């Protein structure tokens, strides 16, 4: 009752910022996981990751309570990187070229990171939020590129950003023993379909 310290009882005290060692360990883990995943796949044992990160298993599981949380975090980081590439491309190239280059960037991401396709198709509900995250982060980027490109008459847009995003994500997902440029060919075919069918049937 006699406690007049401002806010002490009404508002919880300002959360002290995360300890620097914790922040550093999270960073190390994400970096290590990215490396190990691309080397040995997303099913690599956790020990391999913690060893590379120079950290105990306990530390891994405090920050990423489920294995899938770590995988999700790594994938989301890479999605972010992809989104961040858009503004620079838009500034440096003609609209149509920027769009093409960004699609290449996205295609490379999907084709390279096996873990992404694996998570997406695993059926594990832990990854249900991934398409949403993809759309949320990459949708605006792609939309602005698409708009600029259509405005300058370089392409005719007949497909939503979401449809295109998902189609590329699926078509370019790596399959064993596949010709290297299969994904690109199919995407090109799809875009061809867009160009032609200017009149709906």
Contact positions toward DNA, by CB under 7 A? 15-22, 25, 43, 45-47, 54-63, 65-67
Kindly tell me which of 9 and 112 has the beta carbon lying closer to a copy of itself: 112
| Closest among 48, 20, 21 to 34, alpha carbons compared | 48
Nearer to DNA, 22 or 108 (CB): 22
- Which does residue 128 touch among a copy of itself, DNA, none (CB within 5 to 8 A, set by kind)? a copy of itself
If the CB atoms of residues 58 and 180 are measured against DNA, the closer one turns out to be 58
157 exposed, middle or buried (CB, 10 Å; 0-12, 13-18, 19+)?
middle
Neighbours of 187 (CB within 10 A): 18
Partner that binds at residue 20, options DNA, a copy of itself, none, CB closer than 5 to 8 Å by kind: DNA
CA distance 183 to 189: 10
Binding site for a copy of itself (CB under 8 A): 41-43, 114-115, 117-118, 120-125, 127-132, 159, 163, 166-167, 170-171, 173-178, 182, 185-186, 189-197
CB of 139 to a copy of itself, least distance (A): 14
Distance, in Å, from the CA atom of 78 to the CA atom of 108, rounded to the nearest integer, reads 11
The interface partner of residue 57, options being DNA, a copy of itself, none and the CB cut-off 5 to 8 Å by kind, is: DNA
Whose CA is closest to 145, among 191, 85, 194? 85
Read off φ and ψ for residue 148, nearest 5 degrees. Answer: -60, -40
The least distance separating a copy of itself from the CB of residue 175, rounded to whole angstroms, comes to 6
Tokens 């690599």 map to which residue? 44
| Shortest Å distance, C-beta 74 to DNA | 14
Q: Are 155 and 96 in contact (CB under 8 A)?
A: yes
> Least distance in Å: CB of 144 to DNA?
37
Closest to DNA by CB, 57 vs 81, is 57
CB of 199 to DNA, least distance (A): 52
Torsional sign, CA 173, 179, 184, 186: negative
């Amino acid at each position: 009752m006699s406690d007049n310290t401002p806010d002490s009882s009404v508002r919880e005290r300002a959360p002290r910022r995360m300890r620097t060692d914790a922040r550093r360990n999270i960073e190390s883990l994400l970096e290590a996981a990215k490396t190990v995943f691309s080397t040995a796949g997303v099913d690599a044992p956790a020990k391999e990751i913690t060893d590379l990160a120079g950290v105990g298993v306990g530390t891994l599981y405090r920050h990423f309570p489920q294995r899938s949380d770590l995988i999700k975090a790594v994938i989301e980081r890479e999605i972010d990187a992809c989104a961040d590439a858009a503004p620079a491309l838009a500034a440096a190239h003609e609209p149509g070229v920027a769009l093409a280059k960004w699609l290449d960037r996205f295609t490379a991401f999907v084709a390279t990171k096996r873990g992404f396709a694996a998570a997406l198709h695993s059926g594990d509900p832990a990854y249900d939020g991934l398409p949403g995250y993809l759309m949320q982060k990459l949708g605006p980027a792609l939309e602005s590129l698409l708009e600029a490109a259509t405005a300058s008459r370089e392409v005719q847009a007949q497909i939503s950003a979401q449809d295109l995003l998902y189609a590329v994500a699926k078509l370019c997902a790596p399959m064993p023993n596949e010709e290297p440029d299969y994904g690109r060919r199919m995407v090109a075919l799809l875009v061809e379909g867009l160009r032609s069918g200017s009149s709906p049937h």
